[in-house]
Amino acid sequence: MALIDRRIGLLFVAFIALLGVAVTRATYLGAVRAGSLQKAAVTQQVTKVTIPAVRGSITDRNGVELAISESAADVAADPYLTKNPQAEAAQLAPLLGKPVATVLSGLTRPHTGFVYLAHLVPADRATAIAKLRFDGITLLPQVTRVYPRSWAASQVLGTVGWNDMGLSGLEYSFNSVLRGIDGVRRIVNDAIGQPISIDDMRMTKPGRTVALTIDAPLQDEVEQVLAGVGAMYQPKGATAIVMNPNTGEILALANWPRVNANDITGAPAYARQDRAVGFTYEPGSTFKAFTVAGALQDQVVTPFTQFFLPSVLQVADRQIHDAEARGDETASVAQILKQSSNIGADEIGMKLGAQRFDYWVHRFGFGQKTGVDLPGEERGIVLHHQQYSGSSMGNLPMGQGESVTPIQMATAYAAIANGGVLRPARIVKSVGGRDLPTPGGQRIISASVAANLRDMLRGVLAPGGTASEAAIPGYDLAGKTGPANKIDPATHQYSSVNYVASFMGFVPASRPQLLVAVMVDQPQGAIYGGAVAAPAFQKIVGWAVPYLGISPR
């Protein structure tokens, strides 16, 4: 009996001890750890979800969509909840656009409860995935960028990362207005994970629409013309700019090789560059117009001033030749520009003088950014006259020894076309429906000097000019060809085989309404601007003038 009483007593003591432990634990949890446990419960029952804002569209000047946003989803998996990895991977793979083995690897990844299977899956495929109702598969709402015209102005538009941040082009430079503001949603779940309340803590604010000055049909035509240049001459690259010289509006800007904006990773890095602002080159003979412009404005020459042109011109340690061998002759300033004489350009430059020549080079905006609303603009390289060597005035006036960008050349020629006012080019027309102001310009040459230049540049497309075959019957055209040697990176001397061929022109010559600049980098089989770039100018202008309603003379 005593033994039984002793056992009962021990059990009672043990029970009291366990009860004491339980009370102590409850007190600890309820008092000491109450706050942290409550937070843990909230985190399991209350979640905050980011609702991505719809990125603003990019359109052409008439509202044609060039870049839009569509609903998409990131697809994630919890490997712990996956019941039949092999079967599920087989069904998910085609919807995710990935190999079955890759998806299976994600579904069976050890030591994790969360793994991304794919980013930015289009809405239709995300819906199909949701209908499969696989345990552990989660769809996270996102927005993806789509370019309806695929190839059109892709280097200009740029790219967007999977986190909706602009990475290049206008998507990058106007990211702050395009991106909008993400919303935040608070979801309260019950014990079994079902939502019992949903509140929007911050509403999404969609991005604003950016309308460009580009005209989509004209852009398509310019793309096609450059594609033809690429097919015929297989250059390293090419670009074409079409502008209204009176407002600075860019109506088309194309680059070759072409890039599919919806598959940017499929293009090599060099093809993604917007060459209009990011490529620098020696302009060659197209620069002669600015040598003449400065001399005319300083009144050291007139279009009729005669120069004796020797067959070879010695400048310090350099011998200057014209493109075609000839004997000694006499030519006017107008004839020098028409025939693109290197020796003639140097004679005009030396009559102008190094200091004034340098002044006019900078006055036309070379050596500095134009201010166009495109990212990645280069300044080019232009020396100051204090840095000139003895032979500098033997190469600078004819367009060697300085580097420029296509947009600098187009902007400077626009000043000749519009009567003497230099203003930045512009490619963004409005943001959020509000028109951006036309950039102010500054007069750099007189209207009469600009008119004289346009009249002389007519001769380039007239019989005997360097681009006579690019003339369009019935239309009054003016322009300038420009072959230029490239520097050989191995010898650091001018190459005898690699050139940049370019052409700058406008229509009508008397009161230009359209300016077209074409630059072709290292064409194969031909090198001269009149043979390579001028025909592209002719095709673009031939299509554009009836489309834009520009009448024959």
Q: Is the pLDDT of residue 451 over 50?
A: yes
In this prediction, residues 328-335 reach a mean pLDDT of 94
Confidence of residue 34 (pLDDT cuts 50, 70, 90): low
**Token pair listed for 8:** 């009962």
What mean pLDDT value characterizes the chain?
89
Segment 469-481 shows an average pLDDT of 91
∠ CA 322-328-330, nearest 5°, is 95
- CB-based contacts of 240, cutoff 8 Å, min separation 6: 222, 225, 226, 252, 253, 254, 516, 517, 518, 519, 536, 540
Mean pLDDT of the 253-257 span: 97
pLDDT tens digits for range 300-322: 999 999 999 999 999 988 898 88
First to last CA, the chain: 132
* pLDDT for position 37: 44
Q: Which of 3.30.590.20, 3.10.350.10, 3.90.1310.10, 3.30.750.24 would CATH assign to domain 48-77+90-212?
A: 3.90.1310.10
Residue 402 has which token pair?
A: 């300085």
The per-residue pLDDT for 191 is 59
pLDDT in tens, 200-217: 677 778 899 999 999 999
pLDDT > 50? residue 67: yes
Q: Which residues contact 161 (CB under 8 A, 6 or more apart)?
A: 167
Phi and psi dihedrals of 72, rounded to 5?
A: -150, -175
What average pLDDT score do residues 243-256 get?
A: 97
Tell me the whole-structure pTM to 2 decimals.
0.85
Region 486-498: what's the mean pLDDT?
Answer: 84
Q: Hunting for tokens 């989803």 — which residue is that?
A: 73
Three-class SS string for 376-411? Answer: CCCCCECCCHHHCCCCHHHHHHHCCCCEECHHHHHH
> 417 or 46, which is more confident?
417
pLDDT surpasses 60 at 28? no
pLDDT value for 35: 53
Domain boundary assignment for the chain: 48-77+90-212, 216-548
**Span 69-108, pLDDT tens digits:** 988 889 999 898 888 989 999 999 999 999 999 999 999 9
Sorted by sequence, the CB contacts under 8 Å of residue 521 that are 6+ apart come out as 235, 236, 237, 238, 275, 279, 281, 500
Pick 442 or 322 by higher pLDDT. Answer: 442
Interatomic CA distance for residues 254 and 252, integer angstroms: 7
Report CA 278 to chain centroid distance, whole Å: 9
Q: How many CB atoms lie within 10 A of CB 523?
A: 25
| Of 552, 543, 551, nearest in space to 219 by CA | 543
Topology (CATH) of 216-548: Beta-lactamase (3.40.710)
Quote the pLDDT of residue 198. Answer: 64
Query: pLDDT at position 22, please?
Result: 59
Question: Token match 């024959």: residue?
Answer: 552
